[in-house]
């Protein structure tokens, strides 16, 4: 493939080929609500690991790590806060021309109303270093971790607290928009509200603030939609040409038995609730639709998930990379805004699936592009192995492996070398 019937390349010229990260998962030495929660829950997560994760195909290999409390502490991260230049050089060597990263609110405003100039300067340098390498920066303002003072005040449960987020966005807009053309406001509000406020998923464990209240989860969800809308206004006022969006977690939700009344109904409800509810609320305040895609979910009966059991990634997620295609089509049909795949990847410690996964994702995008869907970029999750939230350190999502036991040594995985070549082939000369 790669070319259309007229012999032209299918991916547009300015296509963003990038990788994604988030601050808390790579930077190191955080002081936010997550780092506190990790210290409080590391032991229980280690103790319950076998019960929660024993069924995974990789259990024997990860057991020693999963049963060790240190696995659940983000700690030094992968020292990306210090080593970002080295990491950008690696990204460049992989032919990436874009990079998504987090601006950690708890670093900018460690105490309410007190701005840390060093942290602001750090991110200024960070963005400048990306630009120097001709890598398009895509900062992300909220990827779940928050300042402790903010969550102590009730976080996004209280509408009145939105003014704090607004003030942070304004500060970012005042200080850090130089050289920036794309901004993501929020990452996956549906995942945060579900794991933080609704379920203590037996696999994922709990997430802060672990409230388990339907009422609160709905409030938080609504407040996050408001937060995005306000952020959009602030950012566009500061720089009208800025492209602003959010990263939505979309699952390829399908009926287990097509044409079965209950399976179809569950599918409709889940598609709306999980995929589209939030995006619908912010449809007028986004310049692009950010899509994070990881899995297909098949539903049966009364919203019971029944996905095929092979092939599974290391975390037990059913892998269907081509499931990206129907989502691209639907997102385009609903909103008619350009789409950026803001995350897409696979937990794969042996690097046995990643190349296949990326190739299938490219095919899915080519099909969608050929049918008129506007796609402006693809960001692989992730550049580096990173801290996988309540799972800790054992899941490996990186194009680049990081050996935390041996000086944080970075090693480019074979699939990443292949991806780098693939990008060259796909680019318009």
Residues that bind ligand BGC (CB under 6 A): 22, 25, 187-188, 191, 249, 292, 343, 381, 388
Structure tokens at 122: 């750090």
Q: Which is nearer to ligand BGC, 22 or 267 (CB)?
A: 22
- Structure tokens that stand for 38 in this block: 């990790």
Q: Minimal distance in Å, beta carbon 21 to ligand BGC?
A: 9
- In the complex with ligand BGC, the residue whose CB is nearer, 348 or 388, is 388
Minimum CB separation of residue 342 from ligand BGC in Å reads: 9
Q: What is each CA distance from 156 to 139, 188, 226, in whole angstroms?
A: 21, 14, 10
Smaller CB separation from ligand BGC, 185 or 263: 185
CB of 365 to ligand BGC, least distance (A): 19
Task: Evaluate the CA torsion angle 370, 374, 378, 381 in order and state its sign.
Answer: negative
Which CB atom, from 151 or from 426, has the smaller least distance to ligand BGC?
Answer: 151
For 45-81, give one letter per residue: b (16+ CB within 10 A) or e: bbeebeebbeebebeeebbebbebbebbbbebbbbbb
Considering the complex, what minimum distance in angstroms separates the CB of residue 395 from ligand BGC?
7
How remote is the C-alpha of 404 from its chain's centroid?
Answer: 22
CA separation, residue 345 to residues 19, 104, 123, 350 (Å): 10, 23, 26, 14
Question: Closest distance between ligand BGC and the C-beta of residue 231, in Å?
Answer: 18
Long-range contact pairs involving 81-86 (C-beta distance under 8 Å, separation at least 24): 81/27, 81/28, 81/29, 81/122, 82/28, 83/408, 84/126, 84/129, 85/129, 86/410
Q: How far is the CB of 324 from ligand BGC (least distance, A)?
A: 14
* Beta carbon nearer to ligand BGC, 369 or 401: 401
User: Of the two residues 25 and 243, which places its CB atom closer to ligand BGC in the complex?
Assistant: 25
Can you tell me which residue has the tokens 């994922």? 204
Query: Which region holds residue 278: left if phi is over 0, alpha if psi is between -120 and 50, else beta?
Result: alpha
Enter the tokens of residue 422. Answer: 């693939």
Q: Of 360 and 366, which CB lies nearer to ligand BGC in the complex structure?
A: 360
Q: How far is the CB of 36 from ligand BGC (least distance, A)?
A: 18
What is the 3 state secondary structure string of 95-161?
CCCEEEEECCHHHHCCECCECCHHHHHHHHHHHHHHHHCCCEEEEEEECCCCCHHHHHCCHHHCHHH
Least separation, in Å, of the C-beta of 191 and ligand BGC? 5
Q: What minimum distance in Å lies between the beta carbon of 26 and ligand BGC?
A: 10
How many Å is the Cα radius of gyration of the chain?
20
Considering the complex, state which of residue 155 and residue 345 has its C-beta at the smaller distance from ligand BGC: 345
Using the minimum distance from each CB to ligand BGC, give the nearer residue, 62 or 120: 62
């Amino acid at each position: 493939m790669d070319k259309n019937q007229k012999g032209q390349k299918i991916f547009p010229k300015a296509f963003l080929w990038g990788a994604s990260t988030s601050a808390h998962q790579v930077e190191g030495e955080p002081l936010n609500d997550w780092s506190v929660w990790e210290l409080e829950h590391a032991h229980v997560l280690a103790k319950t690991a076998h019960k929660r994760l024993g069924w995974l195909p990789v259990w024997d290999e990860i057991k020693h790590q999963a049963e060790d409390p240190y696995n659940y502490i983000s700690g030094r991260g992968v020292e990306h806060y210090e080593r970002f230049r080295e990491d950008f050089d690696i990204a460049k060597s992989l032919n990436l021309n874009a990079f998504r990263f987090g601006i950690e609110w708890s670093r900018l405003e460690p105490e309410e109303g007190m701005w840390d100039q060093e942290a602001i300067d750090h991110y200024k340098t960070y963005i400048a270093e990306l630009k120097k390498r001709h890598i398009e920066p895509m900062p992300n303002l909220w990827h779940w971790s928050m300042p402790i003072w903010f969550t102590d005040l009730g976080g996004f449960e209280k509408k009145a607290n939105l003014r704090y987020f607004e003030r942070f966005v304004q500060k970012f807009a005042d200080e850090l928009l130089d050289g920036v053309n794309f901004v993501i406001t929020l990452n996956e509000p549906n995942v945060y509200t579900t794991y933080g406020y609704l379920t203590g998923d037996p696999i994922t464990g709990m997430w802060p603030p672990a409230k388990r209240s339907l009422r609160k989860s709905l409030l938080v969800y609504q407040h996050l939609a408001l937060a995005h809308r306000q952020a959009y206004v602030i950012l566009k006022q500061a720089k009208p040409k800025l492209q602003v969006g959010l990263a939505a977690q979309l699952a390829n939700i399908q009926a287990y038995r097509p044409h079965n009344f209950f399976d179809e109904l569950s599918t409709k409800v889940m598609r709306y609730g999980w995929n589209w509810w939030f995006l619908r609320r912010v449809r007028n305040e986004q310049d692009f639709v950010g899509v994070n895609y990881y899995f297909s979910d098949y539903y049966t009966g009364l919203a019971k998930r029944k996905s095929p059991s092979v092939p599974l990634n290391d975390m037990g997620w059913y892998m269907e990379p081509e499931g990206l295609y129907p989502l691209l089509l639907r997102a385009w049909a609903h909103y008619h805004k350009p789409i950026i795949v803001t995350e897409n990847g696979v937990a794969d410690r042996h690097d046995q699936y990643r190349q296949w996964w990326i190739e299938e994702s490219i095919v899915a995008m080519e099909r969608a592009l050929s049918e008129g869907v506007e796609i402006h970029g693809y960001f692989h999750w992730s550049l580096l192995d990173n801290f996988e939230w309540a799972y800790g350190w054992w899941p490996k999502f990186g194009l680049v492996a990081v050996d935390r036991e041996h000086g944080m040594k970075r090693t480019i995985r074979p699939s990443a070398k292949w991806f780098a070549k693939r990008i060259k082939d796909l680019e318009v000369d």
